[in-house]
């Protein structure tokens, strides 16, 4: 499909740094030319040489995760220069704590309702029983029904 006579377009890093993208370029697998902003952000926050150093230090199978982490942190840092992604983390942590409290309160409500449900149902049951058939249950029907029919 790809003709070998065409040289590959430089990766986003090499294009940004205006240098020739060599076949063993450390950036090329992680900074494709279609995503120029990804490298621009990472370079602005961490510096290309630091990123290159870091990529050489980590195992090849960890490099993609490392780059994604750097790109995420760089984007967050650009949006929030003071807190970076720590800002997002603490917002989410507060949200988790709030939702946990809400869940606890809801569970407590549910517990209360299920505990109150049985006595309430019994009270209603007794009241309904009085209206309908408590005489029938507590007195012999033979005594009750004839007396009503007789009156």
Binding interface with Zn ion (CB under 5 A): 11, 14, 21, 25, 27-28
Q: How far is the CB of 12 from Zn ion (least distance, A)?
A: 8
Which CB sits closer to Zn ion, 48 or 85?
48
Q: How far is the CB of 34 from Zn ion (least distance, A)?
A: 14
Output phi, psi for 27, to 5 deg. Answer: -85, -30
Q: Give the DSSP letter of residue 8.
A: P
State how far the Cα of 56 lies from the Cα of 26, in Å rounded to an integer: 8
State how far the Cα of 41 lies from the Cα of 87, in Å rounded to an integer: 18
Which CB sits closer to Zn ion, 27 or 46?
27
Q: How far is the CB of 54 from Zn ion (least distance, A)?
A: 16
Q: How far from the centroid of its chain's Cα atoms is residue 113's Cα?
A: 30
Q: How far is the CB of 31 from Zn ion (least distance, A)?
A: 7
Which CB sits closer to Zn ion, 32 or 129?
32
For residue 44, give every residue at least 6 positions away whose Cβ sits within 8 Å of its Cβ, in sequence order, or none: 74, 78
Q: Which residue in this structure is represented by tokens 């058939």?
A: 133
């Amino acid at each position: 499909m790809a003709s070998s006579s065409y040289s590959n377009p430089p990766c986003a890093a090499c294009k940004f740094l205006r240098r020739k993208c060599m076949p063993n370029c450390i950036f090329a697998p992680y900074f494709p030319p279609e995503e120029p902003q990804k490298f621009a952000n990472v370079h602005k926050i961490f510096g290309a040489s630091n990123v290159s150093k870091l990529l050489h230090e980590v195992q090849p199978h960890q490099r993609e995760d490392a780059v994604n982490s750097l790109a995420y942190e760089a984007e967050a840092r650009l949006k929030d220069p003071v807190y970076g992604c720590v800002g997002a983390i603490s917002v989410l942590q507060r949200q988790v704590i709030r939702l946990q409290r809400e869940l606890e309160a809801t569970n407590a409500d549910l517990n209360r309702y299920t505990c109150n449900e049985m006595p309430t149902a019994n009270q209603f049951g007794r009241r309904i029983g009085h209206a309908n058939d408590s005489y029938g249950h507590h007195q012999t029907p033979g005594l009750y029904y004839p007396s009503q029919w007789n009156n």
